[in-house]
Structure 1
């Protein structure tokens, strides 16, 4: 199965996507509001061999776009501006999606994967097991271990924001220092034409 941008749009909007959610479900989103428009440097807190090239590069999160019920955070790895984390408050809970783009703004083959939080909505630590769409895409692309992915964000207000990927045999985590904003990076690839 080929995962095209049109397929992604149809999939994400199927079932009546809504931006309305109970206020309690927006706790993490609301806690991120003071950081909107700012960027922060991060460092790897895991040491997996597959992340060795990332360890020597600047890691920056830009809390770039905050709107009602949604926060977009590009994650820059050196000059690579392909990744954006998208958090949305949905009726069924807080959703995380990974928006991956090429330099020309087009979608990467592996994009918009993520899940709905499995944690109480009021927490500042949220875990997102891979949803059915993500598992289907991973399987179609031969990513046989990835269906077990669980991503998480942990926010310690005024201190750190930690992003983590966990699955059996794989651990990746980067911690961003919220005490000291850094210079804003260039926009993420495809930021100007994002519709989702």
Structure 2
């Protein structure tokens, strides 16, 4: 009788503890959620000589968040054309890139990116190029994007396997900045 009671107790305890534990993708997601509504400035780590990003003020704003989607406009100097869109579904996170023109219209190369192939880690998620990206941008077929986050820093990274293409920016999460105006295609 005691064995049966113990087994029932153990099963119930395991269910409760298991329900409380979050997988690494959800932990990563929840950490991002804590920054919703905030903006941060960052720096280009490499390549330093990048013509589009080098020497320009880099700002990200976790502007729109809900349970399954986080939209992060990313500003490069006066260029407000980029938004990273992260989506959480079925214990996976996808990363898409939304590019707009100054008038708000979509760029012809838009919504490319990838989806994590596993639950990743609580502080890093990887996004290999998906088939839509491979069709849209053949050279990006071997792209792998990844995002890291800890208490101090958010990094956005890109590596194009088989090439020298590598890109990394780091955003300072310790010092929120004034919220920037809306990116191109958004309304305040």
Q: When the two structures are superposed, what TM-score results if normalisation uses the length of structure 1?
A: 0.78
1:124-149 deviation digits (Å, cap 9, x = unpaired): 2011000001100113xxxxx21111
Q: 1:20 maps to which residue? A: none
Q: Which structure would you say has the larger Rg?
A: 2
Q: 2:179 maps to which residue? A: 184
Q: Is the 8 Å Cα contact of residues 62 and 75 (structure 1) preserved in structure 2? A: yes
Q: 1:63 maps to which residue? A: 62
For structure 1, the residue ranges without an aligned partner over 5 or more in a row are: 1-22, 140-144
Deviation at 1:53, TM superposition (A): 4.3
Q: 2:113 maps to which residue? A: 114
Q: Secondary structure at the match of 2:147?
A: strand
Q: Secondary structure at the match of 1:191?
A: coil
Deviation at 1:56, TM superposition (A): 1.2
Q: How many residues align?
A: 164
How far apart, CA to CA, are the structure 2 residues paired with 1:122 and 1:152?
11
Q: 1:151 maps to which residue? A: 145
What stretches of structure 1 move > 3 A for 4+ residues in a row?
Answer: none
Q: 1:31 maps to which residue? A: 31
- Cα RMSD of the aligned pairs, angstroms, is 1.8
Q: 2:153 maps to which residue? A: 160
For structure 2, the residue ranges without an aligned partner over 5 or more in a row are: 1-21
Q: Is the 8 Å Cα contact of residues 84 and 97 (structure 2) preserved in structure 1? A: yes
Q: Is the 8 Å Cα contact of residues 40 and 175 (structure 2) preserved in structure 1? A: yes
How far apart, CA to CA, are the structure 1 residues paired with 2:91 and 2:122?
15
Distance 1:81 1:172, change over 3 A: same
Q: When the two structures are superposed, what TM-score results if normalisation uses the length of structure 2?
A: 0.81
